[in-house]
Structure 1
Amino acid sequence: MKRTIVIMFLLSMSIIGACSDNGKNQDHISVAQSSKENNVASIEALQHIKDELNTAIPIKMPTMLPVAEDAFLTATTRAEENQIEIIFYESKEDLPINDLRLKDSATVIGRLLVKQYQSAEGASAQIAYNDFSQNGGQEVDLGYSIKGYQDAGAGALWTGWNEGRWALATHTRTDNPEAGVQLAKQVVEYLESHMLPIPKQYGMAQLDVYQSGNLIVWQDERLVYTLDSIQDPLQALEIAMAFYQ
């Protein structure tokens, strides 16, 4: 998969470590872009969020998150022995991390869940990886010499394909079949110039035409990263891309 990294920041402190209906025109899906100033602010905020977790789990944080020019990045955090949860928020006010007002006055950017397993094998079992070429289905050309495979059932239509160690699929309804292919082609084109994190061993992404149910999961040895609660499918990819190290 030919890709180049478009967003990467190197930090001395090593920051290791987002519903529309079927009338929505997928041509209007765009990747949110942050200003240079807000990227810098996001870096500082992400380090504060990581510090707030106070966890021994060796998590990696994204290097940036998309935040509007006049907004602040903040979060709620929860750390357990083998699991952490971060809900990232965009706020018009400069609210502290874990402020009770966030749920009512801020907008969710996305949720990150990181769980640590006793072994890499245990973590690997959590990844719903598919080799779509082995599953059958109707072939579709997604561009860039990539073939997708369509599978329908219970009113849902999935278009799945593989890139490296990633299994990706778009979801639409059977009465709107072209939307799934269109989104899949957008994703394939996007990934020609952007790099997802390299999973150890596998990763999967489910991207929804109707912007409800985007899910990106990947393994990093004993850790499993899950991104959800992100409405725009391409923005979900943008946030996942920010974990590339």
Structure 2
Amino acid sequence: MKKILFFSLFTFSLIASSCSNDPPGSQTEASTQETNVAGQANQTTDNNKETPSTGNQIKELRSMLKMKENKLPTKFPVTDNEYVGTKINKNETDEYSISFYQTQEPVPINDKSLSTNNNRIATFKAETFDDPTKQKELFPEVSLDSIPDDMKVDLAHQINGMKEGAAGSSYLVWKEGRWVLQIKFISADELDTADIARKMVDYLEENALPIPKDNGRMEVSYPHNAEDVEVMVRWEEENIVYTLETGEVPINALMMTVSTE
């Protein structure tokens, strides 16, 4: 009788122990950064990856574009239960524009449902320039060779940014290779741009941006109260300028840019 009782208690103990532990793989790898006052300034979406359905759609898009030397993002901030829908806005031999949307089910390219879809992830554009002067205007020169001590911000990894303000707005600017990165916000909001920038710098230590011919530029803008964000990423390869525009948080914008091929 004692043996039976001991066996029963031992079995119950094993069951209780297994129930108290999460099964393997029950938690996804955390890709969410610490949020700022905007609530999502540094937050990323889990499972930022190229799913088979997205990969197939990107291949189909490439075959449809008239510009032969085309490039597209291949990873998007969607979860395993979401899909990416695509709509071609412009398709010429010298330029194209494509918008990407979050959907709850797979939809064909240019599906009519995307016209009323408010969950736009990003718009990606490519434009060919015949006039080098007009192309250069897209990339204002920025010199950070000598930053005054009172304007210098240590972003780690031996990168310093420059913080300045003008007309009620504040800017934090830094360089990484041929890229200029800028965060703009309303001065009165006292946004912790240094924290946002450091997380961006950390991300780029492990993930490489496209190598531009001469210039690349990323502009992150927070409107009043930093409730939303607008991000523009632009770089040049020969006489083609690629542009990604999104309302996603900076890390997600970087992720899409890095995945472009």
Which of the pair has the greater relative contact order for Cα pairs under 8 Å at 6+ separation? 1
Residue of structure 2 aligned with 1:164, choices 147, 156, 177: 177
**Comparing 123-132 with 40-49, which one deviates more in the overlay?**
123-132
Q: Which residue of 1 aligns with 2:245?
A: 228
| Residue-by-residue CA offset, 1:50-84 (whole Å, 9 max, x unaligned) | 2233x135121223223221222221102134221
Residue of structure 1 aligned with 2:73, choices 62, 65, 68: 62
Q: Alpha-carbon deviation of 1:35?
A: 6.8
Residue of structure 1 aligned with 2:100, choices 73, 76, 88: 88
8 A Cα contact 2:67 2:95, kept in partner: no
Instruction: Find out whether 1:174 has 2:191 as its counterpart.
Output: no
**Comparing 189-198 with 130-139, which one deviates more in the overlay?**
130-139
8 A Cα contact 1:216 1:227, kept in partner: yes
Instruction: Find out whether 1:34 has 2:47 as its counterpart.
Output: yes
The runs of 4+ residues in structure 1 deviating greater than 4 Å are 119-122, 134-137
Mapped to 2, the partners of 1:102 and 1:154 lie a distance apart of 39
Of all paired residues, the percent bearing the same amino acid is: 24
Rg larger in structure: 2
Q: Alpha-carbon deviation of 1:105?
A: 3.6
Instruction: Find out whether 1:208 has 2:221 as its counterpart.
Output: yes
Unaligned runs of 5+ in 1: 1-21
Change (3 A) 1:99 1:178: closer
Change (3 A) 1:134 1:148: same
Mapped to 1, the partners of 2:145 and 2:174 lie a distance apart of 8
TM-score scaled to structure 1, two decimals? Answer: 0.80
> How many positions carry a matched residue from both structures?
220
Q: Which residue of 2 aligns with 1:24?
A: 38
The within-5 A match list for 1:76-225 is: 76-77=87-88, 78-105=90-117, 107-118=119-130, 122-133=134-145, 138-209=151-222, 210=226, 211-225=228-242
Q: Alpha-carbon deviation of 1:93?
A: 2.5
Mapped to 2, the partners of 1:129 and 1:111 lie a distance apart of 25
Q: Which residue of 2 aligns with 1:237?
A: 254
Higher share in helix: 2
Mapped to 2, the partners of 1:35 and 1:112 lie a distance apart of 17
Q: RMSD of the TM alignment (CA)?
A: 2.4
**Equivalent position SS for 2:230:** coil
Unaligned runs of 5+ in 2: 1-35
TM-score scaled to structure 2, two decimals? Answer: 0.75
Counterpart AA for 1:109: I
